[in-house]
Amino acid sequence: MVAGVDRVRAGLQRGRFSCVVVASDASARVADKVVRLAKASGVPLLRGPGAERMGAGLGLPPVMAVGVTDRALAAGLMRSGAAAPPMED
């Protein structure tokens, strides 16, 4: 798992993620830098909790984006509803 907009963006450019979770209160900057790139790369997007809660769950300060590298974990997140439904346009 990779946290943070810049690190997630770099991982997307390298094709590292099975899905990306974006905080429900993500800024326009995140939409510009992460969401568009994930969609262009065909990487599923999930809407997560707010940045503060998402970061706290990972033992980090607020986090706007998390890239999930593990395929099984990504599949489980998408199946279980641990994150909100996939993001739409």
Residue ranges and CATH numbers for the domains of the chain are 2-83 (3.30.1330.30)
pLDDT for the residue numbered 55: 95
For 38-89, how does the pLDDT look when each residue is reduced to its tens digit (9 = 90+)? Answer: 999 999 999 889 999 999 999 999 999 999 999 999 999 888 765 554 455 4
In contact, 46 and 21? CB cutoff 8 Å: yes
* pTM recorded for the entire structure: 0.86
In contact, 47 and 87? CB cutoff 8 Å: yes
β-strands 2-3, 65-68: how paired?
A: antiparallel
Strand ranges inside the chain, DSSP E: 2-3, 19-22, 45-47, 65-68, 84-86
CB atoms within 10 A of CB 25: 16
